[in-house]
Amino acid sequence: MQVTMTVNGVEYSREIEGRMLLVHFLRDVLGLTGTHWGCDTSNCGVCVVWMDGEPVKSCTVLAAMAGGHEVRTVEDLADGAELDPIQEGFRQCHGLQCGFCTPGMLMTCRALLDKNPDPTEGEIREAISGQICRCTGYSSIIRSVRWAAVHEATSAREQQEVAAQ
């Protein structure tokens, strides 16, 4: 079957099998390997991408279901060489170790910060509760999200001050 979707701002149209999962479409057809594939059961969350601005586990979405929709992957977070604040937070606060869960965590945490720019520890824990990290114990991930929240707020204030001058 033919499927057309926008991925990271680019429209793609490809012939696929109707049973192909979105995670395999992104990785195997488009070559966007930043989205990891872990369990196929939606338990681990390493495959989280956005579909129409909402985080989804791409191992449970058929590529055909994403047809006509806008998909965003971890490859789209950075702006050229400039990391997204959530990526920089993970770098600064050691929010990643082996890196396997990181793409899904980044996408989930970016969505959280877009909806709630100043989340509490409990809100961060709730947001990432559908994802498994076997390395960090989650403390460094929570610190990373808080770092990003603080730095985004500081940057926004600085931009407002410059604009007011």
Q: If the chain, 165 residues long, is cut into consecutive pieces of 10 residues, what is the mean pLDDT of each piece?
A: 98 97 98 91 92 96 98 96 96 92 96 97 96 89 96 75 67
Phi and psi, residue 3, nearest 5°: -130, 140
Beta strand 2-7 pairing with 70-72: parallel
Q: Give the pLDDT of residue 135.
A: 87
Q: Give the pLDDT of residue 89.
A: 97
Q: Give the pLDDT of residue 39.
A: 83
Q: Are residues 68 and 89 in the same domain?
A: no
With tokens 């586990």, the residue in question is 57
Q: Are residues 90 and 160 in the same domain?
A: yes
Write the DSSP assignment of 85-113 as a string of letters: HHHHHHHHTT--SS-SSHHHHHHHHHHHH
Owning domain of residue 19: 2-76
CB of 102 closer than 8 Å to CB of 110: no
Q: Give the pLDDT of residue 163.
A: 67
C-alpha triplet 125, 129, 132: angle, nearest 5°: 115
Q: Are residues 138 and 102 in the same domain?
A: yes
Q: Are residues 59 and 104 in the same domain?
A: no
Q: Are residues 62 and 91 in the same domain?
A: no
Q: Give the pLDDT of residue 157.
A: 67
Beta strand 70-72 pairing with 54-57: unpaired
Q: Give the pLDDT of residue 33.
A: 97
